[in-house]
Amino acid sequence: MRSGVGRQAVQRRTLEALGLKRHQQTVVHDDTPQIRGMIEKVDYLLEVREVD
Protein backbone atom coordinates (compact mmCIF):
# COMPACT_ATOMS: atom_id res chain seq x y z
CA MET A 1 0.00 0.00 0.00
CA ARG A 2 1.15 3.51 -0.74
CA SER A 3 0.79 6.16 1.92
CA GLY A 4 -2.56 7.82 2.62
CA VAL A 5 -0.84 11.04 3.67
CA GLY A 6 -2.04 13.97 1.59
CA ARG A 7 -5.05 12.06 0.25
CA GLN A 8 -8.65 13.20 0.49
CA ALA A 9 -10.53 12.31 3.67
CA VAL A 10 -12.82 9.90 1.79
CA GLN A 11 -9.81 7.96 0.51
CA ARG A 12 -8.19 7.82 3.96
CA ARG A 13 -11.46 6.53 5.48
CA THR A 14 -11.70 3.88 2.76
CA LEU A 15 -8.15 2.69 3.51
CA GLU A 16 -8.99 2.56 7.21
CA ALA A 17 -12.21 0.63 6.51
CA LEU A 18 -10.11 -1.92 4.62
CA GLY A 19 -7.91 -2.26 7.71
CA LEU A 20 -4.93 -0.49 6.14
CA LYS A 21 -3.33 1.96 8.54
CA ARG A 22 0.37 1.78 7.73
CA HIS A 23 2.57 1.91 4.67
CA GLN A 24 3.46 -1.55 3.25
CA GLN A 25 0.77 -3.28 5.35
CA THR A 26 -0.91 -6.49 4.18
CA VAL A 27 -4.47 -7.59 4.93
CA VAL A 28 -6.69 -10.44 3.70
CA HIS A 29 -10.40 -9.96 2.96
CA ASP A 30 -13.20 -12.11 1.58
CA ASP A 31 -14.15 -11.41 -2.04
CA THR A 32 -17.41 -9.49 -1.61
CA PRO A 33 -18.96 -6.71 -3.72
CA GLN A 34 -18.48 -4.27 -0.82
CA ILE A 35 -14.75 -5.01 -0.52
CA ARG A 36 -14.28 -4.84 -4.30
CA GLY A 37 -16.02 -1.44 -4.37
CA MET A 38 -13.71 -0.08 -1.67
CA ILE A 39 -10.66 -1.44 -3.51
CA GLU A 40 -11.79 0.23 -6.75
CA LYS A 41 -11.95 3.62 -4.99
CA VAL A 42 -8.28 3.47 -3.97
CA ASP A 43 -6.86 0.91 -6.41
CA TYR A 44 -4.03 3.23 -7.48
CA LEU A 45 -2.70 3.10 -3.90
CA LEU A 46 -2.90 -0.69 -3.54
CA GLU A 47 -1.45 -3.88 -4.92
CA VAL A 48 -4.20 -6.51 -4.94
CA ARG A 49 -3.57 -10.24 -5.27
CA GLU A 50 -5.91 -13.19 -5.07
CA VAL A 51 -4.91 -16.01 -2.71
CA ASP A 52 -6.20 -19.57 -2.54
CB atoms near residue 45 (< 10 Å): 16
pLDDT single digits (tens) 15-49? 999 999 888 899 999 999 999 999 999 999 999 99
| In contact, 52 and 33? CB cutoff 8 Å | no
d(CA 48, CA 11): 16
Classify domain 9-45 at the CATH topology level. Answer: Ribosomal Protein L30; Chain: A, (3.30.1390)
pLDDT at position 32 is 96
- The pTM of this model reads 0.80
| In contact, 45 and 11? CB cutoff 8 Å | yes
